[in-house]
Chain A
């Protein structure tokens, strides 16, 4: 396929560090050039870092850490760049267009149509003069290869971060550390549409640039106290922090390309539009923490903090959060004479974290959800205009994520067998949620703290050196996670919240599908059957009786019901590592068992709503007059909306197994290295994302946790060869 290529990845890094009596430093430089497997998807980065620490006086230490990077990315359009269904999304376009259509143009007689100027065959964009026209489902006028080649989607990013601190010791046990960090980030996004094919044709070329600058700083002041009296060790900390985030963006566009080959604004005739805005987000925090241990056997710690966020109204912006924890090293206490136990610890903790992340309908951060607003920019001709966009919720406050953990860590038989078993329960209180309002209301959704839910489960990690000899070891590490989720509270006025393919309600999990109930195929005419909604009056034409049971063939009359959860029964992974002398091999596999997945990409390929679009080969087995027992409804161009409606038909078992990483490495023998003054060198070959087994070819259930998919850039299979050396 002309869109695909063998991408190359080059990654080179160089680090130095050094130390004098009172100072130490670290310097690193890096270069990365990563080509995606799609044409025009590249990422290039230069980065550098310097850390310097200096003990100026016996009681005064200071340090500075500066890093900077410069990246240029040629972005492929996919659902993450906000173009899930766009013609320039290669994954959407190639999945959607019927595979019978040629990349290059041919006339009806099958002769290639040549460009007399270049001597090359024209690309076939579906309505090239003289070429065979494509129907609507095959996107006439568009050509993702040709457009991708001629268009430009570039992101240029420059970033500098600096962090400096001063550490002052006083009164023996106290240190006072003010730290100041700044981050400066500049993103320049540039889009160019060519005048030959696609969206840029109409205006003879189009160029848009967005420039945004993020300036943020964090300033904190921490006072520490550490003291050991005999068997008792005490530590305490109090601090204050403020965080200030400033975002400023502007964008402009021009049309009418003057000369080929230059895509800067100066080379365009007409100004098109411009805009810009700025946002501020601030947090102020006061925090404290205390810890105590006795003989390094019993540990206790506690913390308390108050955070104020500019995202909430003055009366409800402060949240208070605390944590408590304890652990006990059992083997240091009464098991000291059991020599096959290397380590055995019990621990338990409870902690709260505040969350103020509210998203708007474009999935961007919403900083002002406490107030109601009119959006500017709805100007009517030359008259200024604004449109109501949000409703106020002055009561909006921090969501609190409370985690309780209890577990045991152990290491036995000189670390032949080790592991960790942990029970966790993560409760979310005052859950922040954009609550859908009636379509007839002035605003479509209001951000609210709607209720509570929890995630609880058990995580088990078990590792063992299965074989351990002088030259050969085989180590196996496995992980299992069992997870349960339940919504425990929702407001009385909105006891059920429908959002996408899910409905949230008390007593069920957050990822419970809520879908129309598909019931199979009517053998008489191949219609898709649904379980009828008993509360609706269903027109006779939409009713069907098959084997004495009443169904409906109109999706709007179909019953919605709970349809299973996206949460798997078990998430797990295992890593096998083998080493023989200087050679080592590791294989990481992860998998999930159970859970459901809504495969909308498959639904798209099974839908028959527009001529010329690609179809899944399963449709060959669809109902026909001679194949009346098929489990796939008839392929009907005119009624695809009902036959292929969003329903339980598209749910599939989300179990999968993926070979994520295989690494083979060889450490060069020391006696060679000494000769060239190298202390360590390792040659390696790594393969990432080597294979994924799932219930349907092409389905990647790990794409999202909520069990839905879209037209994303699929995971790349990466093979790398490299050398690590240190001097």
Chain B
């Protein structure tokens, strides 16, 4: 009898006591945050916004293929520079054999690089859409809400501005509306499985976002990693130039220059390695901490002359020698490349670093031995001067163009004289300055496409080009289908509404 009582007591204790509480099965992760709590307050929403800025310079997670050579948006900017003729390297390695320099990635629907380009910008857009949709209901000041919204709109416009140029044929202001297909247009966080829309529709969305962002006038941002109103205006000028809308390009480039918040760098600053967001002409850039550095997977690991990675040690980046020869001897930019490097005139951290003629020292890591640290320039005010000069020149305002160009050149070359060229010659001079000034920052390929120019890497145009580095892809005629990226295969696999593939 005793044992029955004992067992009954034990049984009831255990069975009764162990019927678990409801919370027992409700577990929470510790490495992530619920999407419902992230938009409760503007402070939290700001966390979501900063995630996008980090994503822009972080080594990609969208593909595992050669991820080290894919530092977010920065890797795309570098990749498309390898699709031009001014930046190149001596061997078929990253950025050339991975499909950029030889134009294979763009034309291969399952290329890792292609997927990475497409996904990187759409992931930024998806994140921005959540912020734009939810910020109004967050708790916080009206000023904070409008600042966060303005930044998210600017980021969304920025992302679409690249997608439309990769996946659609060029915008032609003389053939409006530009009905050729571009990419899907997702403007709400709930948008899913959207069809491709026209180039015109994407540009309409970009300009609408930027105009809205400019109207919100986010002048007070935490630091230059944030895309405040000046970045929105700079981007508006950049997009207008691409749309051959020269009056708008002039208006906004001029506003930024006249605002004078980002004065051009001194000659001394120009030679500090383009790695510091505090340099005066950085309008917008990344600013990783040491912990956020990535020895092999950062932008600087790919291009800083003294980054100690196998890739960089063995493959210094070179400039088109013909372009180099057009730089005046007294121009500080002449010092960014070395036509005949030696141990004396081009010291390098280790004996295993290779030297090549016309190699670059434009980009440097912050300190040798750090995890390839540097602040990627997303936008510099030098570009605004170049936009202004080009837009004036292309709308036949040569005198204003000469002045706008001189504003930049006079800072770079202290003994420069103002150009007296006009017409095409002036445009050519502006473009030479643009190619030299923005080398390595992701402009040349887009300029070729925007202006409907051919790619020419033959010896006549680029005497030091190493043809084998790009599998002998040396010439592509203007308007060739190779200037158009194929939509990634994975998009077709997941999106029944996407529409036709590019030819």
Contacts and interface: CB of A to CB of B under 8 A. Distances in A.
B38 interface: yes
A284 B24 contact: yes
A368 B25 contact: no
Given A171-B4, A378-B50, A440 B186 contact: yes
Contact of B51 (A368, A378, A493): A378
A668 interface: no
Contacts of B251: none
Interface string A351-380: 000000000000000011001111111111
Interface in A432-457: 436-444
A438 B55 contact: no
Contacts of A384: 47, 50
A337 interface: no
Q: Which of B36, B292, B372, B500 has most chain A Cβ within 10 Å? A: B292
Contacts of A335: none
Contact of A372 (B35, B54, B286): B35
A221 B30 contact: no
Contacts of B471: 637-639
A384 B48 CA distance: 9
B144 interface: no
A178 interface: yes
Give chain A's interface residue range (CB within 8 Å of chain B). 35 or more
A641 B99 contact: yes
B495 A438 contact: yes
B296 A381 contact: no
A704 interface: no
Contact of A142 (B4, B46, B310): B310
Interface string B467-490: 010011100000001000010111
B352 A129 contact: yes
B336 to A, nearest CB: 23
Contacts of A638: 102, 471-473
A282 interface: yes
Contacts of B126: 388, 441-443
Interface stretch (A271-279, A466-474, A480-488): A271-279
A555 B104 CA distance: 11
Given A308-B25, A374-B33, A380-B50, A242 B122 contact: no
Nearest to A84: B64
Nearest to B307: A202
A556 interface: yes
B442 interface: no
Given A57-B3, A385-B47, A556-B486, A379 B292 contact: yes
B259 interface: no
A621 interface: no
Interface stretch (A148-156, A258-266, A309-317, A404-412): A309-317
Interface string A241-280: 0100000000000011000000000000000110001111
A610 B469 CA distance: 10
A249 B372 CA distance: 27
Contacts of B30: 277-279
Contacts of B189: 442
B97 interface: yes
A128 B353 CA distance: 10
A425 to B, nearest CB: 30
A108 interface: no
Contact of A176 (B10, B289, B295): B10
Contacts of A168: 3, 6-7, 10
B372 A202 contact: yes
Contact of A376 (B33, B65, B491): B33
Nearest to A441: B192
Contacts of B280: none
Contacts of B472: 638
Interface in B2-52: 3-4, 6-8, 10-11, 14-15, 18-20, 22, 24-36, 38, 46-52
B129 interface: yes
B498 to A, nearest CB: 7
A387 B35 CA distance: 10
B50 to A, nearest CB: 3
A374 B29 CA distance: 11
Nearest to B29: A368
A256 B368 CA distance: 12
Contact of A141 (B62, B92, B193, B313): B313
B225 A388 contact: no
Interface stretch (B106-114, B168-176, B383-391, B402-410): B106-114
Interface in B69-124: 91-93, 97, 99, 102, 104, 107-111, 115, 118-119, 122-123
B398 interface: no
Contacts of B223: 381
B178 interface: no
A96 to B, nearest CB: 13
A492 to B, nearest CB: 11
A336 B22 CA distance: 56
Contacts of B220: none
Given A637-B471, A641-B111, A279 B289 contact: no
Contacts of A554: 107
Contact of A380 (B4, B51, B110, B295): B51
B18 A240 contact: yes
Interface in B271-327: 286-292, 295-296, 307-310, 313-314
B252 to A, nearest CB: 25
A135 B97 CA distance: 12
Interface string A156-193: 00000000001010110000101000000000000000
B22 A314 contact: yes
B21 to A, nearest CB: 10
A339 B214 CA distance: 97
B288 A388 contact: no
B420 interface: no
B4 A127 contact: no
B441 interface: no
Contact of A310 (B27, B52, B58, B194): B27
Nearest to A128: B352
Contacts of B58: 378
Interface string A105-122: 000000000000000000
A439 B488 contact: yes
A168 B2 CA distance: 12
Contact of B184 (A133, A367, A440): A440
Contact of A381 (B31, B32, B35, B225): B225
Contacts of B488: 439
A388 B35 contact: yes
B51 A272 contact: no
Interface string B178-189: 000001101001
A255 B308 CA distance: 14
Nearest to B38: A374
Contacts of A646: 110
22 contacts: A127-B352, A223-B11, A280-B27, A308-B25, A314-B22, A317-B25, A368-B29, A373-B32, A378-B54, A381-B287, A381-B288, A386-B50, A387-B55, A387-B123, A387-B127, A438-B192, A442-B129, A443-B126, A537-B500, A556-B109, A556-B501, A641-B108
For the complex of A and B, 7 pairs with smallest distance between CB atoms: A442-B126, A638-B471, A141-B310, A385-B50, A438-B495, A387-B51, A378-B51
Given A368-B32, A381-B223, A386-B48, 15 more contacts: A57-B3, A202-B309, A203-B371, A310-B25, A314-B25, A314-B26, A368-B27, A375-B32, A377-B31, A383-B50, A385-B48, A385-B54, A438-B192, A439-B488, A537-B500
